[in-house]
């Protein structure tokens, strides 16, 4: 049957959806071009924020209505509707209270069973619920589609044990599990062999790779460079793969910014000099309340360590405004930290409580209007900061992997440099997606660079 997967949330969900698509194709199903021709529709849900969960559940409700011949969603052929991902784990059996006519629901780490669940639904079984254990190792992790994309996500670390006060991820994605290094290397080697130029290694706190369980076995070869930490050793192994041009990874924690990680950036040219390093707050008091396990000074020291060997090293971050009890003084401390760190980009989120987290028991005492104000102040600051960071790059030459014609101007192409900066450039001659080009920057904006191929 023809299927479609709708994805909400983070890159981990994007990767899980890609694996599900590959598993369904391997089981004999066909990917639909759009929703109007799909017979099976699966919604991959997020629950990190309440609005994301509502959107996913609402989408399922609209699809079920279309299946029954009512509602406004144009999906006349849909026969089976499924929900997967983090919202299923949070809601458990209550998912069928919200969606009583949902055909199946699958939590994270169980997506490998979806092809079998589809067959059960087609045989007449309904309201199937599959919830994973917190330590379950999923099947189908290495499934990839047969497309010609030059970029691919590779999950290396599942779950999270950090237990930040506001975060529901440990409850829905389970305990940390590091995939064996030999599995990851084999997967990336296979991707490179089929033309993938850039991989992004995924983990909720990816620098903790190998901390909870051994990622490297006794039969794995030792590090030629003398690396002892699991993640730098993995970067070393991936850097040696022929055909691979770039290695990215996300998301990080300041505690993982060790001397060995910095040495890996310097030693391995395929490792992109960009790190997404969420800070969440610049106030030591709020950081302690959040359970972030570092101080303001320790965070800034991590950024300084990364920039010491390369002033152009790109650091991006996440920030939460309006955490319970956040005062104006706390907020101004965050503003000051962001300025001192000199972030290349920042993603600002307004705090919203999630059920079951420690912060949900606190009074959400920062008014919505004040959260919005703080959000806008930080975004405005970042526009100025981003412009200043990018102005320094005018006249430099960037190595860019071409991603395709620019969305705003088809006569131009766009891609990203090693710092994950968007670079727009005039296309000269015939270009191919994934091709490496050298671009001299002639114009800078807060979030993009513009230049010419040389």
Q: List helix spans (H) across 218-327.
A: 230-239, 259-267, 284-290, 296-308
Q: Which two tokens stand for residue 19?
A: 């694996």
- Whole-number pLDDT of residue 381: 98
Beta strands in 197-259, from DSSP E residues, in sequence order: 198-202, 246-250
What are the two backbone dihedrals, phi and then psi, of residue 62, each rounded to the nearest 5 degrees?
Answer: -65, -40
**What secondary structure letter does DSSP report for 112?**
G
pLDDT interval class at 330 (50, 70, 90): very high
CA pair distance 194, 181, nearest whole angstrom: 20
Rounded to 10°, the helix 368-391/328-341 angle is 10
pLDDT interval class at 320 (50, 70, 90): very high
Q: Do residues 227 and 177 make contact, with C-beta atoms less than 8 angstroms apart? A: no
pLDDT interval class at 328 (50, 70, 90): very high
Q: Give yes or no for residue 428 having a pLDDT over 80.
A: no
What pTM was estimated for this model as a whole?
Answer: 0.96
Domain ranges of the chain: 2-130, 151-391, 397-453
- Whole-number pLDDT of residue 141: 92
- Whole-number pLDDT of residue 409: 84
Mean pLDDT, to the nearest integer, of 177-202? 97
Place of tokens 């919202």: 87
Average pLDDT over all residues of the chain: 96
Looking only at the bridges linking them, the beta strands covering 177-178 and 198-202 are unpaired
- Whole-number pLDDT of residue 74: 84
pLDDT interval class at 408 (50, 70, 90): confident
Q: Do residues 250 and 11 make contact, with C-beta atoms less than 8 angstroms apart? A: yes
Considering only residues 445 and 410, tell me which one the structure prediction assigns the higher pLDDT. 445
Beta strands in 116-226, from DSSP E residues, in sequence order: 128-130, 151-155, 157-158, 177-178, 198-202
pLDDT tens-digit profile of 90-104?
Answer: 999 999 999 999 999
Q: Do residues 280 and 334 make contact, with C-beta atoms less than 8 angstroms apart? A: no
Q: Give yes or no for residue 147 having a pLDDT over 80.
A: no
- Whole-number pLDDT of residue 385: 98
- Whole-number pLDDT of residue 411: 84
Domain 2-130: assigned CATH number:
3.40.50.12160
Of residues 205, 160, 164, 161, the one with CA closest to residue 292: 164
- Whole-number pLDDT of residue 378: 98
Q: Which of 18-27, 86-95, 146-155, 216-225 has the lowest mean pLDDT?
A: 146-155
pLDDT interval class at 9 (50, 70, 90): very high
Q: Give yes or no for residue 210 having a pLDDT over 90.
A: yes
- Whole-number pLDDT of residue 354: 95
Domain 151-391: assigned CATH number:
3.80.30.20
Looking only at the bridges linking them, the beta strands covering 177-178 and 30-31 are unpaired
Instruction: Label residues 29-39 b or e (16+ Cβ within 10 Å = b).
Output: beebeebeebb
Considering only residues 23 and 410, tell me which one the structure prediction assigns the higher pLDDT. 23
Specify the fold of 397-453.
Answer: OB fold (Dihydrolipoamide Acetyltransferase, E2P) (2.40.50)
Q: Give yes or no for residue 72 having a pLDDT over 90.
A: no
């Amino acid at each position: 049957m023809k299927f479609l997967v709708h994805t909400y949330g983070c890159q981990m969900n994007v990767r899980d959806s890609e694996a599900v698509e590959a598993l369904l194709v391997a089981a004999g199903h066909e990917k639909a071009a759009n929703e109007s021709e799909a017979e099976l529709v699966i919604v991959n849900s997020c629950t990190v924020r309440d609005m994301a969960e509502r959107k996913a559940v609402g989408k399922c409700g609209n699809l079920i209505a279309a299946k029954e011949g009512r509602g406004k969603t144009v999906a006349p052929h849909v026969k089976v509707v499924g929900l997967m991902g983090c919202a299923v784990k949070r809601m458990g059996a209550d998912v069928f209270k919200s969606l009583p006519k949902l055909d199946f629901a699958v939590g994270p780490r169980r997506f490998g069973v979806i092809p079998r669940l589809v067959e059960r639904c087609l045989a007449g079984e309904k309201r199937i619920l599959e919830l994973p254990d917190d330590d379950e190792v999923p099947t189908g992790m290495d499934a990839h589609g047969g497309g010609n994309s030059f970029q691919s996500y590779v999950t290396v670390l599942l779950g999270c044990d950090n237990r930040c006060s506001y975060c529901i991820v440990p409850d829905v994605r389970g305990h940390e599990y590091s995939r064996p290094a030999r599995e990851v290397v084999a997967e990336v080697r296979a991707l490179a062999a089929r033309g993938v130029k850039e991989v992004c290694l995924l983990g909720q706190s990816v620098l903790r790779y190998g901390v909870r369980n051994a990622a490297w076995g006794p039969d794995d070869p030792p590090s030629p460079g003398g690396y002892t930490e699991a993640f730098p050793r993995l970067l070393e192994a991936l850097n040696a793969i022929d055909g691979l041009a770039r290695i990215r990874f996300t998301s990080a924690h300041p505690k993982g910014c060790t001397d060995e990680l910095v040495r890996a950036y310097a030693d391995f040219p395929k490792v992109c000099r960009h790190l997404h390093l969420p800070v969440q707050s610049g106030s030591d008091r709020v950081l302690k309340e959040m359970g972030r396990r570092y101080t303001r000074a320790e965070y800034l020291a991590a950024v300084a360590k990364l920039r010491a060997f390369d002033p152009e090293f790109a650091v991006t971050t996440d920030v939460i405004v309006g955490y319970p009890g956040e005062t104006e003084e706390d907020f101004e401390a965050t503003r000051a930290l962001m300025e001192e760190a000199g972030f290349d980009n920042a993603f600002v989120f307004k705090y919203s409580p999630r059920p079951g987290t420690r912060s949900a028991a606190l009074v959400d005492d920062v008014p919505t209007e004040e959260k919005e104000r703080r959000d806008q102040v930080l975004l405005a600051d970042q526009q100025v900061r981003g412009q200043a960071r990018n102005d320094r790059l005018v006249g430099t030459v960037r190595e860019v992997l071409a991603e395709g014609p620019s969305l705003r101007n088809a006569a131009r192409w766009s891609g990203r440099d090693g710092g994950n900066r968007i670079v727009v450039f005039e296309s000269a001659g015939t270009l191919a997606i994934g091709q490496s080009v050298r671009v001299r920057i002639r114009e800078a904006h807060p979030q993009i660079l513009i230049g010419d191929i040389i």
